Amino acid sequence: MSTSTTSDKPTSVWGSHESQPPVPDGAVSVTVKLLRFNPEVDSEPHWQSFEVPALPTDRVLNLLHYVKWYLDGTLTFRRSCAHGICGSDAMQINGINRLACKVLIKDLLAKKGKPTTITLAPIKGLPVNKDLLVDMEPFFEAFRAVKPYLITYGNEPTRERIQSAADRERFDDTTKCILCACCTSSCPVYWNDGSYFGPAAIVNAHRFIFDSRDEGAEERLDILNDAEGVWRCRTTFNCTDACPRGIEVTKAIQEVKRALLFKRV
């Protein structure tokens, strides 16, 4: 790997702040190993490591900020709210998809004070634009394809569309989705076959298919009955494990499959 980036000199690089902040009490030094890729100079992604002081109460996102603000300003990643709501900072943390803003350092520290290495890579299956930043467009394309909005026919009710608590409960789990792509990019079927809708799209279809106020269930089930639809799911449960919102993703997919099999919504 030609070192056109900054592999040996982590300090005072272009775009970074010159002085580093004081290391707080109780901080431990951890190695942050990043899979970096700059499309302007690299033909292949490559690993780069940074030594970063971290508090056990820090989140992985804090380490990324430290690298970007004080060590290498060219590091590129996406984050917005930094509180697990916007779903921007999904990445592969130590080999599994998580939100960087929700993983605490204390849960990643090596046991018995051994040196800790935290490995960060972009989520799989989506084209990498730069470093940890991926192109989410294929993901959103699948999301839009399942018509994730209320579909009704006939006259609008004069007041609100009434729904019982039990009917609301039916799809409560799948309303939690924040479209971070942790699930879809953890799916082995999605990695190998870009045309599969992916777990997130099915979760959002589930949210409307099982909504008693919605009348578009048939349309969505038709879309998902496709060869690239729900039947591609191999129930590997990676998506359920990856979801930062705790959605039982595989369960939702199975419910859609059963709705198709038994024509029961």
Binding marks (x or -) toward other proteins, 214..243, rule CB under 8 A?
--------------------xxxxx-xx--
CB of 246 to other proteins, least distance (A): 12
Between CA 161 and CA 264 the distance in angstroms is 22
Q: How far is the CB of 92 from other proteins (least distance, A)?
A: 6
Taking CB under 8 A as the binding criterion, the range among 140-148, 163-171, 176-184, 252-260 that sits at the site for other proteins is 252-260
Give the footprint of other proteins on residues 69-128 (CB under 8 A): 92, 94-96, 119, 121, 124, 127-128
Q: Does 251 bind other proteins (CB under 8 A)?
A: yes
The kind and range of the H/E element at 32 are: strand 28-36
Check: CB of residue 37 under 8 Å from CB of residue 1: no
Q: Is 215 in contact with 151 (CB distance < 8 Å)?
A: yes
Is residue 246 a contact residue for other proteins (CB under 8 A)?
A: no
Segment near other proteins (CB under 8 A), from 6-14, 55-63, 222-230, 251-259? 251-259
Put residue 123 in one of left, alpha, beta given phi > 0 → left and psi -120 to 50 → alpha: beta
Q: What residues have CB less than 8 Å from 79, skipping those under 6 apart? A: 61, 64, 86, 88, 89, 100, 101
Token pair 């709501």: residue: 85
Q: Say whether residue 31 binds other proteins (CB under 8 A).
A: no
**Cα 235 from Cα 115, distance rounded (Å):** 36
Nearer to other proteins, 1 or 81 (CB): 1
Q: For residues 259 and 152, give the distance between their C-alpha atoms in angstroms, rounded to a whole number.
A: 20
| Helix count and strand count (H, E) for the chain | 8, 7
Give yes or no for residue 137 binding other proteins (CB under 8 A): no
- Residue 176 in contact with other proteins, rule: CB under 8 A: no
Q: Which of 37, 77, 196, 210 binds other proteins (CB under 8 A)?
A: 37
| Contact set with other proteins (CB under 8 A) | 2, 4, 35, 37, 39-45, 47, 92, 94-96, 119, 121, 124, 127-130, 186, 188, 234-238, 240-241, 248, 250-251, 254, 257-258
